[in-house]
Amino acid sequence: MLLFSSVVSADVPPEARHEVDHLISFVGNTSCQIERNWTSHNGPEAISHIQQKYDYFREDIKTTEQFIELKFPNY
């Protein structure tokens, strides 16, 4: 899982890239359900969304906090 975000994130500051990689790893290994748009998702399903969001916004990401707050258009 970590490979995906590291490969496509050349424009994300290294510290933010490391923190987002950690977030993706944590979510992928959790037994918790992640709620998004009033629907629960397991770790792998949540990672899919997080990775799409990361790829979409990677040129805009300056901090991990900013990444977490970013929302896809029309959400």
Task: Tell which residue, 44, 51, 47, has the closest CA to residue 5.
Answer: 51
pLDDT, tens digit, 9 for 90 and up, residues 9-31: 457 899 999 999 999 999 999 89
pLDDT, tens digit, 9 for 90 and up, residues 47-61: 998 999 999 998 999
**pTM greater than 0.85 (yes/no):** no
Sequence length of the chain is 75
> What is the sign, positive or negative, of the torsion defined by CA atoms of 6, 4, 39, 70?
positive
